[in-house]
Amino acid sequence: MTPLLDVRNISKRFGGLMALSDVTFSVGSDEVLGLIGPNGAGKTTCFNVVSGNTSPTSGSIRFDGQNIVGLRPSRIVRMGLSRTYQATSVFPDSTVLENVVRGAFTRSQDSLAGSIFGTGASAAAQARDRADCMDILEQVGIAHVHDQLAGALPYGYQRRLGVAIAFASRPKLIMMDEPAAGLNPEESQAMGALIRAMHERGRVSVLIVEHDMRLVMDICHRIIVLDHGELIAAGSPDEIRNDPKVIEAYLGTELVT
């Protein structure tokens, strides 16, 4: 079986800096893959290259059997690969529900003409979108603030909203860039539970970058490790935990339990 996402030999050069060199990995359907590594290792760059936000200097990326190098990010999202950002990213002046509806933009059955004239069919389609997005808000646990402006939400809720927006397009694969960044241990654990639930109920594969090792070890089937743009290890959580190279580069002497 071909993997859902197949990344081969990608490199990314910023001037004299090789942010990624010759990185190869894949994500299977129904898999949760962790991508870890020290600050500046190239994790976000890897996401940006895969999502089409920047183009790789060399290498090939296939998603769902199709080459996606050179496609616009929106096109890649419509193929079923969505992402969240390391920094909180929402539509601040819109309500929480409207934010998620925008995430579902490409799935909506609302039509241009219908929505201009305000037809019944358009209203019905919008009602379906809203109901569907309320379900997603329910799932991420912020349905009770659905009518508040996203920009006014507490930080933890904005992180959840970011996940909800990315999930709303019903992706086959969702890439999450440090979803638990800045969360306290309880919130972080809840985020982990949330991602696992999304994976299990939404049948979505996950590629996750995260510094919270407990979360990563908890939810990932497999983990790959980047250091200075190079892939230095790949394996199960247990293998990674005990890999001397990984401990030296990233995990340090601190024991991870």
Partner 1 sequence: MIAKTGLTVRLGLVVAASIVAAFVPDLLPNLFYVHIANLTLLSGIFALSLWIIYSVGQLSFGHAAFAGLGAYMSALLAMRLEVPPAIALIIAALATAGMAALLGAVILRLRGVYFVLVTFLFGQMFTLLVLNWADLTNGANGLISIPAIVIAGVSFGPRPMFFYLVFGVFLAVLLFTWGLKRSTFGRAFDSIHQNIDLAESCGIDTARYQVIAFAIGSGIAGLGGAMMAHYIRFVSPDTFTFHNSVAFITMLVVGGRSLFWGAMIGAAVITPLPELLRDFEGLQHIIYGAILILVLRLLPGGLVSLPSVLRRQGGGQ
Ligand X SMILES: Nc1ncnc2c1ncn2[C@@H]1O[C@H](COP(=O)(O)OP(=O)(O)OP(=O)(O)O)[C@@H](O)[C@H]1O
Given the rule CB under 8 A, which residues bind partner 1?
51, 53, 72-75, 77-78, 82-83, 85, 89-94, 101-103, 105-106, 108, 110-112, 115-120, 122-123, 165-166, 168-169
Write down the residue that tokens 């959840």 correspond to: 160
For partner 1, the closer of residues 73 and 235 by Cβ is 73
Segment near ligand X (CB under 6 A), from 37-45, 131-139, 144-152, 237-245? 37-45
- Cβ neighbours of 121 (radius 10 Å): 13
- CB closer to Mg ion, 211 vs 241: 211
16 binds ligand X (CB under 6 A): no
Q: What 3-state DSSP class applies to 176?
A: strand
Q: Compute the distance between CA of residue 158 and CA of residue 166 in angstroms, rounded to an integer.
A: 12
Q: How far is the CB of 159 from partner 1 (least distance, A)?
A: 14
DSSP class of residue 149 equals B
Size of the site for ligand X (CB under 6 A): 12
- What is the C-alpha separation between 148 and 12, in angstroms, rounded? 40
- Which residue among 4, 25, 33, 43 contacts ligand X (CB under 6 A)? 43
Structure tokens that stand for 23 in this block: 């990185």
Tell me how far, at minimum, the Cβ of 5 lies from ligand X, in Å. Answer: 18
Please give the Cα distance from 83 to 17 (Å, whole number): 25
Helix/strand/coil for 183: coil
Q: Which of residues 62-101 bind Mg ion (CB under 5 A)?
A: 86
14 lies in the binding site for ligand X (CB under 6 A): yes
**Spatial distance between the Cα atoms of 63 and 199, rounded to a whole number of angstroms:** 18
The region of 28-36, 43-51, 73-81, 127-135 touching Mg ion under the rule CB under 5 A is 43-51
Instruction: Report phi then psi at 244, rounded to 5.
Output: -60, -40
Q: Does 44 bind Mg ion (CB under 5 A)?
A: yes
Q: What string marks each residue from 45 to 84 as x (binds ligand X by CB under 6 A) or -?
A: x---------------------------------------
* Terminal CA-CA length for the chain: 34
Q: Is 40 in the site for ligand X (CB under 6 A)?
A: yes
* DSSP category for residue 256: P
- Both tokens of residue 93? 């002046």
| Smaller CB separation from partner 1, 119 or 189 | 119
